[in-house]
Amino acid sequence: MPVPTENGWLADLHLVDHHCHGVIEGPVDRATFEDLITESDVPAPDGATFFDTQLGFAIRRDCAPVLDLPSFASPEDYLARRAELGGEATRRLLRASGIGDYVIETGFKADQILTPAQMGAAAGAGYAEVVRLERLAEQVAEEVGPEDFLAAFRDRLDAELRTAVGVKSIAAYRVGFDIDPSRPTDDAVARAVGDWQAARQPGQPLRLSDPVLVRLGWWEAIDRAVPIQFHVGYGDPDVDLHRCNPLLLTDLLRLARGSGASILLLHCYPFHREAGYLAHVFEHVYCDVGLAVTYTGAQSAQVIAESLELTPFFKAMFSSDAFGAAELYYLGAELFRRGLQRAFTTWAGPQGWPEEEQQRVASLVAGENARRVYRLDQAPTTTFGRPGARFSR
C-alpha cells in the first residue's frame, strides 16, 4: 500500500495556519532568541541553553539547512548566520514552511511584531486576522466608564469583525475555565467594570482578570456566531494548567450549541485527548495541537497521532501558534507534515487506506477545515490562497 514520503505529496499540501502571531522584525540577540524558544519566563541557568530542548534540537537539525548550514550546526553558528542573513532568514523560513495562508492573532505584543499585511508580504502568503477579546475589553475600559462600557464594547467588536475572521479568548491565562459560564447580566457587567476601574493602580494599564467580563466577551462572540478560539493547556507560567483542562468548558459548550458559533480549542497539550473527545461529541467544537508540535520536536508525531484518535478528521486543524521567530512557523509546518506521514504509515498502510483517501484527510486537516470554519472562501475582497491577499468577512 503506498505510503507518503517526506518528499511526496505531503510536501505539496496547502497549509492554512489557523492560529499564529507575527514575526519580530529586526535583529534578535541571543537572549531574545532563547526567550522566543521557551515558554518559561526566565533565562536558562548559567552555562545552560534552551537550545538543549526538543525545540532547540529541531532548530539545529531542520532550520540550519534552510540557512545554508549543515544540520546540527552549533547554536553560535546558527545565530551568527541568522544575523548575517537578517530579514532574508525570516523570508526563507516562512517561504520554506509551505504555509499558504496565515490566520494571525494580533493581541499579544502587537507593537513588536509584523502586522498581518507585513506577514503576508514576507511569507508570500494570504492572511487574515483574529481579535483577542480580553484586549478589546481592556481598550474599551481605557476609554469609557461603567455605564457606557457594554455598548462601546459591542460597537468595537462589530467594527473589528468587519475585517477579522474570528476572535480569541485567553481566559486560561486570566481566570481559568472553572467559572460560571453563563451570560452575565448588564448590571453585573457595569458593576464589574466599575470595580475594575476603581481598583486600578496609578500608572498601570488595565489588565482584565474579572470572570464576569471574560464571560461577556465569550457571549458577545457567541451572539455574533463567529469562530471563537480558546487557548487551552500548555503555555507560559501565567497559566494554571490544572484550571485549563478543556473538559472544564463542557457547560459552556453545551450552552453555545445551536448558536452558529464555532469553538476552536488551541494547543490543548497535554489535554489533546480530552479536546479530541469534545470535538468528537460537540458539533461546533474543533481542536489542534499547535505549539505542542513545535515544542515536542522529535516526539511530536506521537502527539499528532494521539490528537487524531477521537477527533473527527473534519474537526482537526493545523496551526503553528508561532510567535516572534520564523523558525517556529517552519518547524510547526514541517513537524506537522512529518507527524501526519508517520500516522498514515502506522495506520493507513496496514489498514489499506487508499492513497487518495490519505490525501483527502490530510487536506482537510491541513487547511480545508479552517477554510470552511472561518469562511475564508466567502471573503468579498479576495481569493483564497492568493499570495499577499487579505481575507475579510
Minimum distance from CB of 160 to Zn ion (Å)? 17
Q: Which is nearer to Zn ion, 130 or 213 (CB)?
A: 130
Minimum distance from CB of 84 to Zn ion (Å)? 29
Q: Which is nearer to Zn ion, 82 or 132 (CB)?
A: 132
Minimum distance from CB of 269 to Zn ion (Å)? 13
Q: What are the distances in angstroms from CA 146 to CA 135, 149, 187?
A: 17, 5, 10
Q: Which is nearer to Zn ion, 19 or 60 (CB)?
A: 19
8-state DSSP, 3:
-
Three-state DSSP state, 96: helix
Q: Which is nearer to Zn ion, 35 or 321 (CB)?
A: 321
Cβ-proximal residue to Zn ion, closest one:
321
Separation CA 234–CA 268 (nearest Å): 7
β-bridge partners, 99: 15
Q: Which is nearer to Zn ion, 106 or 369 (CB)?
A: 106
Minimum distance from CB of 110 to Zn ion (Å)? 13
Separation CA 172–CA 160 (nearest Å): 22
Q: Please check whether residue 329 is in contact with residue 17, taking contact to mean a CB–CB distance below 8 angstroms.
A: yes
Which positions touch Zn ion (CB under 5 A)?
A: 321
| All three cell numbers of 305 | 497521532
In the Cβ-directed half-sphere of 283, how many Cα atoms lie within 13 Å? 6
| All three cell numbers of 209 | 482578570
Q: Which is nearer to Zn ion, 262 or 319 (CB)?
A: 319
Minimum distance from CB of 21 to Zn ion (Å)? 6
Q: Please check whether residue 231 is in contact with residue 170, taking contact to mean a CB–CB distance below 8 angstroms.
A: yes
Q: Which of 255, 252, 278, 282 is nearest to 266 (CA)?
A: 278
Q: Specify the DSSP element, H or E, that contains 280.
A: helix 272-281
Minimum distance from CB of 391 to Zn ion (Å)? 18
Q: Please check whether residue 120 is in contact with residue 129, taking contact to mean a CB–CB distance below 8 angstroms.
A: no
Q: Which is nearer to Zn ion, 288 or 321 (CB)?
A: 321
Q: Which is nearer to Zn ion, 17 or 321 (CB)?
A: 321
Minimum distance from CB of 230 to Zn ion (Å)? 11
Q: Which is nearer to Zn ion, 129 or 321 (CB)?
A: 321
Measured in whole angstroms, the distance separating CA 154 from the mean position of its chain's CA atoms is 24
Minimum distance from CB of 105 to Zn ion (Å)? 6
| All three cell numbers of 355 | 492513497
Q: Please check whether residue 41 is in contact with residue 152, taking contact to mean a CB–CB distance below 8 angstroms.
A: no
Backbone phi and psi for residue 88, each to the nearest 5 degrees, phi listed first: -65, -35
β-bridge partners, 168: 132, 229
Q: What are the distances in angstroms from CA 320 to CA 89, 105, 172, 336?
A: 18, 12, 19, 9
Minimum distance from CB of 286 to Zn ion (Å)? 15
